[in-house]
Amino acid sequence: MAFIINSLFAHGVGGRNDLPISEWTAAWGGAIALLLSFAAIGLLWHQPKFPKLLEGNLTPKLVKTGHIITATVQAVALVLFFVVLTACFIGPNNTVGNIAPTTVFIIFWVGVAISSAIFGPFWKTVSPWETLGKLLDKSHTVVTRPAPKWLTSGWAALIPITIFHWLELAYHDGSSPRVLGWSILAYTVFLLVAAWRWGWDEARKAEGFGILFQLIAAISPIFRDEDNRLKVRLPFVGISALNMSGPSIAIVLAALGGTAFDGVSRTGWWLDLAVGKSGGGLTVVNTLGLVWVSLIIGVAYHQASRIGSRLTSDQNFARIFGGSLIPILIGYDVAHYFSLLILEGQAFKILLSDPYGQGWNIFGTADHAINWTVVSATAVGWVQIGSIVCGHLLGVMFAHDRSVELWSKQIALRSQYPMLLVMVIYTVMGLVLMTG
């Protein structure tokens, strides 16, 4: 196989020393831009705008898909799922010759998330777990029985996101195809057993990836209305229609915390901390770091919400402003993983021709090489800075729009101070991690 995958799981994160500005210049520049934007929005934006834009317009017939096309896409996605799963066990146990790590960490985790922000809630249509769950519902009559609260509350969906981040960022052998295979198999069996017992509608509430991608899809200009009609609207306004629950906020915060630790783990001081450690010792250090960074992200939002609740006398403050986290999350995702998707994502088409490492060339791409020059480091660096700043600016816009919708001008402006402080901290931290 004529290609080399360097640092496959570095996740596109690293210093961009060729940028014409320093990391702290970028950080404080982003923070100042955020503060100035907040001031301008506060002076000029006095009426809610997002709710008026939710209706959207019907899409042209050219972009509508029929049942045959949908079924074909579902079948292809299901076949790919089984290829990846079997490759985990019978393919080479390394990240270079096995299709599973590239598919899971790049195509699935990065590609689906970013694509959901652009193309809307397509994952619900192509998800192999969704397809298998619905097929299971059709294959037998589900005995009507109430599903347990631990399943239906939504908190169970936080578990797969947490475990995924731990495998990706903390466990010393998390990219091993065998480890991935057993993890995917266990998750699939759990969902199907739950679907068999309580029906897929209930089991779906524990499918954390589907919930996360659905939340991200809210910022897409493409959506389906209550009548399942495909429509378009301005990007990002869809988050105002989200009914954020405690579990859904926790899922977004967990994803944001994992992405933040991904950046921390690439810094020089963290690498110095982890130097000389391997195996279980490395896993312990990384696990503590992942928990530490995730707690900082979560506690910061929680404390800001508590202060906001006191300022507005609204105990639902955290849920009201939960949607502001979504553009921040996708901004972080683009910043951290853009180069990973563009560069190392090319390995997917190469591995697709020989998914089991047997020397096949099914699609004629096995001898292709990754083009490492398709995007420059400088371009990646500017994308990283721009996506983080834009994500936070959009979060500020949503928070302001929601506040003027609910409260008087004075209360609306005051309610945003604690959340603005958190966003400034997030911005500075994110830009330092990206550019330093």
Paired tokens of 319: 């849920």
Residue 327 maps to a domain: yes
Residue 75 maps to a domain: yes
266 pLDDT above the threshold of 50: yes
Residue 1 maps to a domain: no
Q: For 144-192, write each residue's pLDDT tens digit.
A: 678 899 999 999 999 999 999 999 999 999 999 999 999 999 999 999 9
DSSP characters over 44-61: H--S--TGGGSS-EEPPG
Whole-number Cα distances in Å, 403 to 241, 304, 312: 14, 15, 10
Residue 120 maps to a domain: yes
Residue 217 maps to a domain: yes
Residue 2 maps to a domain: no
Residue 287 maps to a domain: yes
Confidence of residue 54 (pLDDT cuts 50, 70, 90): confident
Q: For 61-81, write each residue's pLDDT tens digit.
A: 645 556 778 888 899 999 999
State how many domains the chain has: 1
Phi, psi of 257 (to 5 degrees): -65, -40
340 pLDDT above the threshold of 60: yes
In whole angstroms, what separates CA 390 from the centre of its chain? 16
Helices (H), 217-278: 246-264, 268-274
In whole angstroms, what separates CA 231 from the centre of its chain? 23
Over range 334-344, report the average pLDDT.
Answer: 87
| Domain enclosing residue 138, as ranges | 8-435
Residue 389 maps to a domain: yes
Lowest mean pLDDT among 165-169, 234-238, 286-290, 414-418: 414-418
pTM of this structure: 0.90
